Amino acid sequence: MARNANGRDEIPLAARSGFTEVIEELLDTRHEWSLARTAGEGNKVKSLAQKSSNKTSDRESVQEEIRATTRDGDTALHLAAASGHEETVKKLLEKVDEQTREAVNQRGETALHIAAKSGFARVVRSLIGNTTVNKATGKGNTALHLAAASGHTEVVVEILKNSSELPSSKNEAGDMALHLAAMNGHTEVIVKLLDVKNISEMIAAKNKAGDMALHLATANGYPEIVDKLLHVMKGSEVATSKNKAGHTVLSKAIEAGQWEIAKMILEKILKTKKPVDLGILDFDKALIFGCPSKRIS
């Protein structure tokens, strides 16, 4: 548990447990302690708080406690966000300074990142406007990346309401939120992301491996997502776009044994009257799919 320089841990403990009234009284040392209604772990908080009330404390010492971190670098705000305690988060936001609101743990995550990846939409709503929405973790993931990767549709919606830039933001691997949602099979998130502006540019965007979102949905076997992506993509992109390994989306589908998806992709290509390019797919696998050669005009 986080402790400040004086070894006190009541604020982080109360934050993690969601004891908002305790937080409020700890942050206002002019009030008398009234913890009779707390139970369970709240009794530990009560004990700690009663000991603390006998000590002289000023506003700076309270701020010091709020800034205290765990071994993983989490502040009280991180802990409250991680547990989904909306009211506690709101109370902390009223009192903490900008440095604490923007603090990152050892994984480079702010409280907003943690709430987003955990799926706490109401906590995310409280944090947005009080923290930097576009801030990225050490691996380049924004809150939108994390929510999309985990399939938290409500969180994705909250973030999209407040940032038009994030959908096109790439992490260290070159993935946008669209790539991560496609990779992990989150259809509802894909639907929300397809409604954003400039989607035509983002849907054709490639990560550092050269994969479009369609490559990733195909390789991982998500036909519903493939169908939705195909409906908004140009046939030429589907027919000719290759990743760095040399795979088109069709060759990727056949290589992965995703026959249903392969047929969907082939139908899309044939409508465009473009040559069917099987990329680096070996001849034997092309024959299994029913293709007599690696390029069919």
Q: Give, for all 297 residues of the chain, the pLDDT tens digit.
A: 444 433 446 666 666 767 666 666 666 653 333 333 344 556 655 555 555 554 444 556 666 777 888 889 999 899 999 999 999 999 899 888 898 899 999 999 999 999 999 999 999 999 998 999 999 999 999 999 999 999 999 999 999 999 888 999 999 999 999 999 999 999 999 999 999 988 888 999 999 999 999 999 999 999 999 999 999 998 888 888 999 999 999 999 998 999 999 999 988 888 876 665 656 554 445 445 545 444 433
Specify if 59 maps to a domain: yes
Please name the amino acid found at residue 291. Answer: C
What's the rounded Cα separation, in Å, for the pair 221 and 216? 8
**What is the b/e burial string over 2-25, where b = at least 16 CB atoms within 10 angstroms of the residue's CB?**
bbbeeebbbbbbbbbbbbbbbbbb
**Main-chain phi, psi angles of 215, to 5 degrees:** -55, -45
201-217: b (≥16 Cβ within 10 Å) or e = ebbbbbbeeebbbbbbb
79 within some domain: yes
Report the C-alpha gap between 147 and 121 in whole angstroms: 10
- Kindly list the distances between the CA atom of residue 126 and the CA atoms of 63, 68, 81, 103, in Å, as whole numbers in the listed order: 20, 22, 10, 16
Q: Give the residue from 16, 21, 127, 8 showing the smallest Cα distance to 68.
A: 8
d(CA 163, CA 49): 40
The pTM for the full model equals 0.79
Q: Is residue 84 part of a domain?
A: yes
CA–CA–CA angle 150, 156, 161 (5° rounding)? 170
Q: What does the pLDDT read at residue 25?
A: 65
Nearest to 128 by CA among 144, 105, 149, 107: 144
Q: Is residue 4 part of a domain?
A: yes
Euclidean distance between CA atoms 66 and 69, whole angstroms:
8
240 located within any domain: no
Residue 90 buriedness (CB in 10 A; 0-12 / 13-18 / 19+): middle
Residue 81 domain-assigned (yes or no):
yes
- End-to-end Cα, the chain, rounded Å: 66
3-state secondary structure of 138: coil
Evaluate whether 44 touches 80 at the Cβ level (below 8 Å).
no
Instruction: Tell me, yes or no, whether 29 lies in a domain.
Output: yes
Query: What is the spatial distance between Cα 162 and Cα 147, in angstroms, rounded to a whole number?
Result: 14
Give me the number of domains the chain comprises.
1
- Residue 10 belongs to some domain of the structure: yes
In this predicted structure, what is the pLDDT of residue 262?
93
pLDDT at 156 (0 to 100): 98
- Determine the 3-state secondary structure of 296 from DSSP: strand
Segments forming the whole domain that contains residue 52: 1-103
- Please report the pLDDT score of residue 51 as a whole number: 54
